[in-house]
């Protein structure tokens, strides 16, 4: 069934995200269908999407930019079958520099540029939008999300599950990586990392969406309670140690947490009604975000302009006129000194 995340709702008004459908694995084992090779794989991502942002971060931290290419889609969703009256699906489209400006899917807002920085036409499959990329891989699931890890040799999707793509980037491309010694998923910490993911994902990463997409007060109240308690738990941990699971060592758990915290004040507090807490007013979490943002390569994966453009312009049911709030320039706060190295 063709759908977006906004349609993954329960009868009680609670948002319940469905699992990713494409779950193959790049492996160094002999005879693997998807072997690690330079210039074989391509990422389709959105700067706006936190799940896609995970993959860009690990790609940068490992130094794989010259090994795995990437294309960044336009942040404002558009109709993916324009001219087909019975198909009203909207989703990610490729930028088209030089074409006419855009509005939202009900003809309001903007006008928004046809391409923001780094938004380009699809150089791999020649598609107009992400839906078409999935269709070229003969997808049967119908949820056209990013990230996509695409195999240019076999011309198909390897994976669209970000939590697994970042593990592949961490371990399977070591021989090509500029920083091969960096291990973000060390064997002796995996138990702690997965234990953290079990409460951070449902209550924070997905918790903000549970708040924002809730269609009943009961569902929202349950989600905001879970989020607030977990936010305070993160704060408590980061007051006494540098990173979320491994003390003074950054891991994939920190990557997964950071991409949500980065968007928290500029988007989720306003758009998803997560206004019980704020990163700006939580010193330990703010300084934690500063340290990660200032790591080599991470800043280049952040586009707050496109993050805000996506959320505030892509869902007319939530923001009819697609007005983008100005905000307090959270990214400027991230550029200020932190004290985490003293912990």
Catalytic residue set: 49, 209
Q: What distance lies between CA 297 and its chain's CA centroid?
A: 16
CA dist., res. 194 & res. 196, Å (int)? 5
Of 157, 151, 132, 152, the residue nearest 22 (C-alpha): 157
Q: Which residues, 6 or more positions from 46, have their beta carbon under 8 angstroms from its beta carbon?
A: 52, 72, 73, 75, 92, 146, 306, 310
CA dist., res. 106 & res. 67, Å (int)? 40
Task: Specify the DSSP element, H or E, that contains 311.
Answer: helix 304-313
For 26, the 3-state DSSP assignment is coil
Q: Which residues, 6 or more positions from 307, have their beta carbon under 8 angstroms from its beta carbon?
A: 47, 48, 75, 262, 263, 266, 267
Kindly write down the DSSP assignment for every residue of 31-52, as one continuous string.
T-SS---TTTEEEEE-SS-HHH
């Amino acid at each position: 069934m063709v759908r977006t995340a906004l349609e993954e709702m329960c009868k009680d008004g609670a948002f319940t995200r469905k699992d990713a459908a494409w779950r193959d694995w790049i492996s160094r084992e002999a005879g693997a269908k998807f072997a690690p090779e330079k210039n074989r794989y391509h990422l389709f991502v959105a700067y706006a999407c936190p799940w896609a942002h995970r993959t860009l971060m690990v790609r940068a931290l490992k130094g794989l930019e010259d090994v795995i290419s990437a294309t960044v889609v336009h942040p404002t969703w558009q109709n993916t079958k324009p001219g087909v009256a019975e198909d009203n699906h909207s989703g990610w489209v490729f930028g088209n520099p030089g074409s006419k400006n855009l509005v939202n899917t009900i003809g309001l807002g903007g006008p928004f540029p046809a391409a923001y920085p780094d938004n380009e036409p699809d150089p791999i499959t020649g598609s107009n939008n992400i839906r078409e990329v999935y269709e070229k891989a003969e997808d049967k699931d119908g949820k056209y999300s990013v990230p996509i890890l695409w195999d240019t040799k076999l011309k198909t999707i390897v994976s669209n599950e970000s939590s697994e793509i970042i593990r592949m980037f961490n371990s399977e491309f070591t021989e090509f990586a500029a920083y091969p010694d960096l291990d973000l998923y060390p064997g002796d910490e995996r138990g702690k990392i997965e234990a953290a993911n079990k409460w951070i994902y449902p209550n924070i990463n997905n918790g903000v969406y549970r708040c924002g997409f809730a269609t009943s007060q009961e569902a929202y109240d349950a989600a905001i309670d879970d989020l607030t308690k977990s936010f305070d738990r993160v704060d408590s941990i980061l007051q006494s140690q540098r990173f979320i699971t491994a003390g003074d060592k950054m891991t994939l758990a920190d990557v997964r947490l950071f991409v949500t915290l980065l968007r928290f004040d500029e988007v989720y507090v306003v758009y998803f009604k997560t206004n019980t807490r704020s990163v700006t007013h939580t010193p330990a979490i703010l300084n934690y975000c500063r340290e990660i943002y200032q790591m080599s390569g991470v800043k280049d994966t952040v586009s707050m302009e496109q993050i805000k453009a996506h959320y505030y312009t892509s869902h007319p049911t939530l923001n009819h006129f697609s007005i983008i709030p100005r905000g307090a320039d959270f990214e400027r706060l991230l550029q200020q000194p932190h004290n985490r190295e003293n912990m």
